[in-house]
Amino acid sequence: MQEVKVTINGGIIADDELQEYIARGRRNQPHNELIAITVNLDGEYADIDYKYANQLMPQRFSIAGDMIIPDFENLNKAKQAEYLDKVTNDIK
């Protein structure tokens, strides 16, 4: 098991608290190797971001007919045509 890279922003935390955050990250995804943890402190709150060795990259999603779809090719021909015919607006 490799060492976990730890980054703490906004203050300091006790070592036992940090070890619990690391243990929690390992429990949440037991089949993935935890390689890094970032703790952002804001007063009494801690925002924790976990990074795993084989974490999948997020897919690009599209919207077709009020549906969020991960893969255009999985749509039937009618939904593909609807997606290709949609008009986008220029409002930003």
Confidence band for 61, pLDDT divided at 50, 70 and 90:
low
The total number of residues written for the chain in this structure: 92
The answer to whether residues 21 and 38 touch, using CB atoms and an 8 Å cutoff, is no
pTM check: above 0.85: no
pLDDT tens digits for range 73-83: 667 788 777 77
Question: How high is the pLDDT of residue 30?
Answer: 86
Alpha helices per DSSP H over the chain: 15-28, 77-85
**Residue extents of the structural domains in the chain:** 5-52, 57-87
Question: How high is the pLDDT of residue 54?
Answer: 75
The single residue listed with the structure tokens 């084989």 is: 54
Question: How high is the pLDDT of residue 18?
Answer: 93
Q: Percentage of the chain surpassing pLDDT 70?
A: 70
